[in-house]
């Protein structure tokens, strides 16, 4: 009898342990560290005017600013050391050397290039950063690849010519779409859908980041307080539910970033009508909550610079661009 009870208790404990490993429920994320006084403004100078709908990316040498509002030069290069303006490229228009509807930008570090999807021409254009620096706005892009009208790559993370991880926008009508996560081969155009939609969510609306070294992908919803960690084939290893999981109508996560020892994710938690992201939740690589960084400014976008262990941020606030050195914080 005692042996039977012992075996039942062991089975129960194992089941609890398994549940803990595959689902994490955070009842509170209240360890807040205010870091506004450590955010340094990036002054982009008077050589170029950048609109409000901008995104920041980084390469080995350059801070790359993608400006959706610009017509004469939609991509701007700045020195990543002193943030001095260097050059611009990517004029908008319907001509053969122009971008009609600029999509996502991804960086090819090995070749010192970046690639832009054009969601009207359904092509990927290639830009050589060193040539942009030497030639300025006279530089003309090259066609890198084409993609299907039925699955439009968005927020692509370039690994090599045969592998990019991306969100896939799948139009279902003139005003609606489904979203999936895919592995995209630029050379062949083949896209393999990976991952899954959580059964308790209405639709998938997420951002992702990947780490090839860690065989890890993190996906964060911007409609639910929900993240998941999977391997690079999309096999879910853990769901992470936050304290706002059961609250509907919130804007939740924004950008998610994998660093050497942490997962960082911008977060709002406000109603959609007045949502602003000024917080970054910090998790360990297993998804356990560590702390929350209160940036003190309203963030539009955030990206991690692994070479210098810092964050580049685009703001909708009194300053437009800034960075946060994470040394001494994480």
Across residues 75-90, what is the average pLDDT?
A: 94
Helices of type H across the chain: 2-22, 129-135
> Alpha carbon of 145 to those of 148, 154, 156, 205: distances in Å?
11, 15, 14, 26
Q: Decide if pLDDT at 9 tops 60.
A: no
What are the two backbone dihedrals, phi and then psi, of residue 249, each rounded to the nearest 5 degrees? Answer: 80, 15
Q: Decide if pLDDT at 188 tops 70.
A: yes
In the sheet that holds 123-128, the strands lie side by side as 102-108, 113-118, 123-128, 142-146
Residues 152, 119: contact at Cβ < 8 Å?
yes
Which has the closest alpha carbon to 253: 213, 201, 212?
201
Please report which confidence band the pLDDT of residue 66 belongs to, taking 50, 70 and 90 as the band edges: very high
Per-residue pLDDT, 20: 63
Across residues 97-116, what is the average pLDDT?
A: 96
- What does the block give as tokens for 246? 């059961």
Pairwise CA distance, residues 305 & 24, whole Å = 28
What domains are there in the chain, each with its CATH number? 26-325 (2.120.10.30)
Across residues 214-223, what is the average pLDDT?
A: 97
Q: Decide if pLDDT at 100 tops 80.
A: yes
Pairwise CA distance, residues 210 & 257, whole Å = 8
pTM for the structure as a whole: 0.91
């Amino acid at each position: 009898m005692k042996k039977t009870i012992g075996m039942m208790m062991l089975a129960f404990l194992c089941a609890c342990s398994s549940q803990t490993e595959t689902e994490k429920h955070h009842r509170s994320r209240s360890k807040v560290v205010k870091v506004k006084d450590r955010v340094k403004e990036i002054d982009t100078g008077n050589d170029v005017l950048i609109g409000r709908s901008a995104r920041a990316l980084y390469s080995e040498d350059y801070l790359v600013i993608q400006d959706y509002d610009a017509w004469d030069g939609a991509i701007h290069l700045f020195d990543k050391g002193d943030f001095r303006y260097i050059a611009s490229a990517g004029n908008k228009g319907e001509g053969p050397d122009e971008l009609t509807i600029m999509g996502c930008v991804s960086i090819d570090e090995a070749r010192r290039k970046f690639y832009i999807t054009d969601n009207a021409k359904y092509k990927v254009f290639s830009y050589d950063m060193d040539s942009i620096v030497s030639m300025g706005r006279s530089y003309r892009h090259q066609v890198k690849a084409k993609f299907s009208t039925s699955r439009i790559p968005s927020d692509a993370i370039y690994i090599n010519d045969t592998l990019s991880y991306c969100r896939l926008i799948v139009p279902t009508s003139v005003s609606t779409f489904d979203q999936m996560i895919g592995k995209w081969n630029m050379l062949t155009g083949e896209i393999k859908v990976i991952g899954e939609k959580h059964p308790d969510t209405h639709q998938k609306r997420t951002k992702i980041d990947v780490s090839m070294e860690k065989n890890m992908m993190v996906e964060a919803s911007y409609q639910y307080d929900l993240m998941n960690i999977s391997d690079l084939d999309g096999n879910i290893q853990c769901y992470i539910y936050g304290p706002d999981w059961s609250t509907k109508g919130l804007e939740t996560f924004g950008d998610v970033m994998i660093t050497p020892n942490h997962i960082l994710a911008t977060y709002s938690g406000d109603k959609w009508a007045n949502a602003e992201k000024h917080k970054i939740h910090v998790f360990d690589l297993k998804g356990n909550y560590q702390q929350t960084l209160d940036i003190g400014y309203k963030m539009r976008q955030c990206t991690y610079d692994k070479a210098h262990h810092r964050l580049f941020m685009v703001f909708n606030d009194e300053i437009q661009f800034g960075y946060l050195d994470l040394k001494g914080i994480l």
